[in-house]
Chain A
Amino acid sequence: MNVLTIDGLTVDFKTGEGTTRAVEGVSFSVPRNRTVALVGESGSGKTVISQTIMGLLPANARIVSGSVMLSDPGLAGGKPVDIVSLDPSGPKMRAIRGDRIAIIFQEPMTSLSPLHTIGDQIGEAAELHRKVDSAQARELTREMLRLVRFPDPARALDAYPFELSGGLRQRAMIAMALICHPALLIADEPTTALDVTIQAEILKLIKDVQQELQMSVLVITHDFGVVANLADDVVVIYHGRIMESGSARQLFADPQHDYLKALLNAVPRFTMNAGERLVPIRPIEPHAGGFLVKERRKAVETGKPLVRLENVSKSFITRKGGLLGARPREFLALDDINLTINRGECVGLVGESGSGKTTTAKAILRAISIDRGRILYDCGDGPIDVAAMRGEVLKDYRRRVQLIFQDPFSSLNPRMTVNDILVEPYIIHRIGTAEERAERVRELMRLVGLDPRFLRRYPHSFSGGQRQRIGIARALALNPELILCDEPTSALDVSVQAQILNLLKDLKSELGLTYLFVSHNLAVVNYISDRIAVMCRGRIVEVGPTKEVVSDPLHPYTQALLAAVPEPDLDARLDFEALDARKASEPALWPEPFRLTDDDAPTLVELRPGHFACAPGLADGAMPAALMEAAL
């Protein structure tokens, strides 16, 4: 029996340029107590479908044809209802929305009102649909928070969203969606904005509550790892049409449609062989030549240390304290970081949000000053302290080190044309004449596979992937040696991600670049980097060659991170029982010799050749070899 049956749904959007068809002839169903995954890239119409089911389509959308039948014994009258026939803001639809169908969104940060308590916002749905008074609603909310495993439900009732971490906020969202025990839960990219360890916990939670409440789930995602771990059935959508649907096992084992095959090929996996390339759906060919290859300057040899961080520490003062005693608190963002990046290699910097990855990158860029330690950069005449650079030396350093940002949408000035954006570095550094600059800018465009004719356009007319390529072109404009990539693909779809990763790989080999690749996605880092450094709470806990770190992680935190990555493989599902994110990211709870208290220096110990782990317990070398073996 199906809770939801969509039949021949077609939705149009009226825009300034006419009518666009967002969804065309879509039919699928969600059976009772099952999980269906709706998979597709951004812009494929997945969200439009979820909005149609919720009756929340924007004003410029029109349902042209089709039906969305909801059949659920909990409905008033008990008969199946066609949602399309209801007035979206009428009382009948409002009675269904939030009661029989509920939704959780991608961004737990913005989907809760910052001015109202969690308890107020969750209990509201119960008051609306269950005819309970506020005291009963509070009781129901407490019950619900317990169900979604809030550490302290009674206290959380009066907490405000900004007092909670991202994972807890998403739990609160789930509690809000489930308080009326809906027949269908729509999860719209429920874990995309979360760290891997938190993602694994949320996936586990969705699975658990589904069992407990006997409901159906429609997961909307572009992440095949999530699909493999959650879904019973899969529906693949492309440009508003269903390409393929069937059971998860069937689709993963034997994808029929070219699009699905291509999508699966674009996902980086741990099982990839060395040298194996991802196959993006729309591959691009970088054309390196001209000034980027010709113009060489004095630099250190390939394989020699380019940047060395020595005992770098940085703390931020958070001056928060409300009205009572605003006491400044110190927050240690970087604790005694030691890291070397050799010329020509790509070092992946992995960790959860708030672990200090971006701070490290910014420190190298000298965008922030460090409190202790040194950052040494070798321009070819031996290492120089970055903090001591002045005048021309600093300007030269700025040319050598560049940054690629995470968010391609906000990192490009919407009021500048692509040409302005790319020419700006030359103007600042007074390089070349107007003609030379124009020539270089065209070359940069070709290099990232964009047509130089696009130069006069503004950023808004490009897709996310294209914008990220403009960002890369801007970073390459001054012919740098070292590029700091700050989560360059985390805002992109898998297929576009594959395209950008391949582009970065090709550029690195053609132009002899060095990367520091910051990411929370281990699979991505595994694909692109030669060495991996894992960060947790401002410390580097493990450094080593990529293959070794991934196949033989020494540190418990790295092990936990790896265990939490959902693989797009039905036979390698997450072991939900073994997960315990809170314990894994708490340095004081790590087992000996890795245990780290606030007073310990995070000393890296070489446990395998070239493979270090932070193990203060082994630091003085006093531990006998036998014990060391046992500890590992």
Chain B
Amino acid sequence: MIFYILRRLLGMVPTLLVISFLTFFIIELPAGDYISNQIAALKATGESSSIAKLEFLRKEFALDRPFLERYLVWVGLWPGPHGFDGLIQGNWGWSFEYDKPVAEVVGPTMPLTIVLNAATILFVYVVAFPIGIYSATRQYSWGDYGFTFLGYIGLATPNFLLGLILLYFSNRWFGLSIGGLMDPQYIGKPWSMGKMMSVLGHLIVPTIVIGTAGTAAMIRRLRANLLDELHRQYVTTARAKGMREAHLLVKYPLRMALNPFIADIGNLIPSLVSGSVIVSVVLNLPTVGPVLLTALQSQDQFLSGFILLFVALLTLFGMLISDLLLAVLDPRIRLGGRAVS
């Protein structure tokens, strides 16, 4: 087991290198870089006083070197102006847009991003599971049709539209401030009970908005999976033993229907960070999403590169975790080797 995990971790290294190269390549695809764009803008307006400073920055961040070298300096496999100083050495880079190290830009948004997305995932599971089970066991009943209808509406409504509508009503009825994840007076203040409650109150709308589509999709998937399992022979076997229907349902078919969802955890973990870019922009949430968007637009390459790479790393870890969980929960995977063929 330990050997297996070690092997998987080692296997991540080349994967990450390939991903980082692709990320860097794609980010650099548009012509120029942040600084050369700035220089061009300054030249166009005739201002040349700060050009020297920008030229210095270009050298400082090795942007004047060839593509491959730039990439290797970023990763930390090639000596830059300050020797080996890249991602591997723990230097996450510099954000030109914010004029701060990347770590300081991303860092503060991280906790709120994770809180928001974790709440969303929890919401999806808590709502989707009971409804999915209900729909599958009472297929073609009024309840099933009702939830199916709601689900399709959830899938079809644009997130941001739903978000705006909900924001309006929560402001009208509950007096919540529009946008953000807390009332304006708490921004920048130390944590207190009031700030906590304000954050919780502001979480409700984004959670529902981000979660609706996921919930609807999950209900459909769970229903389909469970329906497949419900007609399996082993369910009849359990019934023939005289088991109660509810007990039987949880022990056999539901357990089988869970596998795809465990496999899905791998995809959920990266979405903890990147799951809600557009909604966050629309609802003005202080999460990683809007930061990533602006970084991409202004070619703030070290910032966007770091965020993308971080998401990729989370994906790899998510896959590992879901593989391990699957092995723990499914004896066919765990013990496949002992089977007589």
Using CB atoms and an 8 Å cutoff, list the residues of chain A in contact with chain B. Answer: 54, 56, 89, 94-99, 102-103, 105, 107, 110-117, 121, 124-125, 128-129, 160, 162-165, 173, 176, 318, 320-327, 331, 354
Q: Is the CB of B255 within 8 A of A115?
A: yes
User: For residue A129, which residues in chain B have a CB less than 8 angstroms away from its CB?
Assistant: 242
Q: Is the CB of A110 within 8 A of B338?
A: no
Quote the shortest CB–CB distance from A178 to chain B (angstroms): 12
User: For residue A114, which residues in chain B have a CB less than 8 angstroms away from its CB?
Assistant: 234, 256, 331-332
Q: Does B243 contact A (CB under 8 A)?
A: yes
Q: Is the CB of A56 within 8 A of B239?
A: yes
- Tell me the complex Cα distance, A102–B242, Å: 9
Quote the shortest CB–CB distance from B55 to chain A (angstroms): 55
Instruction: Specify the chain B residue showing the minimal Cβ separation from A126.
Output: B241
- Tell me the complex Cα distance, A327–B234, Å: 32
Instruction: Specify the chain B residue showing the minimal Cβ separation from A163.
Output: B339
Q: Chain B 316-332, CB within 8 Å of chain A: the 1/0 string?
A: 00000000000101111
- Tell me the complex Cα distance, A33–B240, Å: 21
Quote the shortest CB–CB distance from A190 to chain B (angstroms): 13
Q: Is the CB of A112 within 8 A of B234?
A: yes
User: For residue B330, which residues in chain A have a CB less than 8 angstroms away from its CB?
Assistant: 115
Contact among A113, A160, A325 for B238, CB-based, below 8 A: A113
- Tell me the complex Cα distance, A54–B245, Å: 15
Q: Does B341 contact A (CB under 8 A)?
A: yes
Instruction: Specify the chain A residue showing the minimal Cβ separation from B334.
Output: A322
Quote the shortest CB–CB distance from A218 to chain B (angstroms): 14
Q: Is the CB of A111 within 8 A of B241?
A: no
Quote the shortest CB–CB distance from A599 to chain B (angstroms): 22
Decide yes or no: A320 and B242 within 8 Å by CB, A56-B236, A111-B237, A115-B256 being known contacts.
Answer: no
Q: Is the CB of B337 within 8 A of A320?
A: yes
- Tell me the complex Cα distance, A578–B4, Å: 48
Q: Is the CB of B236 within 8 A of A111?
A: yes
Decide yes or no: A322 and B236 within 8 Å by CB, A97-B241, A128-B241, A176-B241 being known contacts.
Answer: no
Q: Does B173 contact A (CB under 8 A)?
A: no
Pairs A–B under 8 Å by Cβ, sample size 30: A56-B240, A97-B241, A98-B242, A102-B240, A105-B233, A105-B237, A110-B234, A112-B234, A113-B238, A113-B252, A113-B255, A114-B331, A115-B252, A115-B331, A116-B252, A117-B331, A124-B238, A124-B241, A124-B243, A128-B242, A160-B331, A160-B332, A162-B331, A163-B338, A176-B237, A320-B341, A322-B334, A322-B337, A323-B327, A327-B337
Q: Is the CB of B233 within 8 A of A107?
A: yes
Q: Does B90 contact A (CB under 8 A)?
A: no
Decide yes or no: A105 and B236 within 8 Å by CB, A322-B335, A322-B337 being known contacts.
Answer: yes
Q: Is the CB of B233 within 8 A of A164?
A: no
Q: Does B190 contact A (CB under 8 A)?
A: no
Q: Is the CB of B334 within 8 A of A103?
A: no
Q: Is the CB of A97 within 8 A of B337?
A: no
Q: Is the CB of A160 within 8 A of B335?
A: yes
**Residue of B233, B242, B332 with most partner-chain A CB within 10 A:** B242
Q: Does B52 contact A (CB under 8 A)?
A: no
Using CB atoms and an 8 Å cutoff, list the residues of chain B in contact with chain A. Answer: 1, 3-4, 232-234, 236-245, 251-252, 255-256, 327, 329-341
User: For residue B240, which residues in chain A have a CB less than 8 angstroms away from its CB?
Assistant: 54, 56, 97-98, 102-103
Q: Is the CB of B341 within 8 A of A354?
A: yes
- Tell me the complex Cα distance, A383–B336, Å: 43
User: For residue A327, which residues in chain B have a CB less than 8 angstroms away from its CB?
Assistant: 337
Decide yes or no: A97 and B239 within 8 Å by CB, A164-B340, A321-B337, A331-B341 being known contacts.
Answer: yes
Contact among B1, B332, B339, B340 for A324, CB-based, below 8 A: B1
User: For residue A162, which residues in chain B have a CB less than 8 angstroms away from its CB?
Assistant: 331-332, 336, 339
User: For residue A98, which residues in chain B have a CB less than 8 angstroms away from its CB?
Assistant: 240-243
Quote the shortest CB–CB distance from B242 to chain A (angstroms): 4
Instruction: Specify the chain A residue showing the minimal Cβ separation from B255.
Output: A115
Instruction: Specify the chain A residue showing the minimal Cβ separation from B258.
Output: A115
- Tell me the complex Cα distance, A116–B338, Å: 16
- Tell me the complex Cα distance, A105–B332, Å: 22
User: For residue A325, which residues in chain B have a CB less than 8 angstroms away from its CB?
Assistant: 3
In the complex, besides A103-B240, A110-B232, A111-B234, 20 extra interface pairs with C-beta distance below 8 angstroms are: A95-B242, A97-B240, A98-B240, A98-B241, A111-B233, A112-B234, A112-B237, A113-B238, A113-B255, A115-B329, A121-B237, A129-B242, A160-B332, A162-B339, A163-B338, A163-B339, A163-B340, A176-B237, A320-B337, A327-B337
**Residue of B234, B238, B338 with most partner-chain A CB within 10 A:** B234
Quote the shortest CB–CB distance from A293 to chain B (angstroms): 45
- Tell me the complex Cα distance, A162–B242, Å: 24
User: For residue B238, which residues in chain A have a CB less than 8 angstroms away from its CB?
Assistant: 113, 124
Q: Is the CB of A110 within 8 A of B331?
A: no
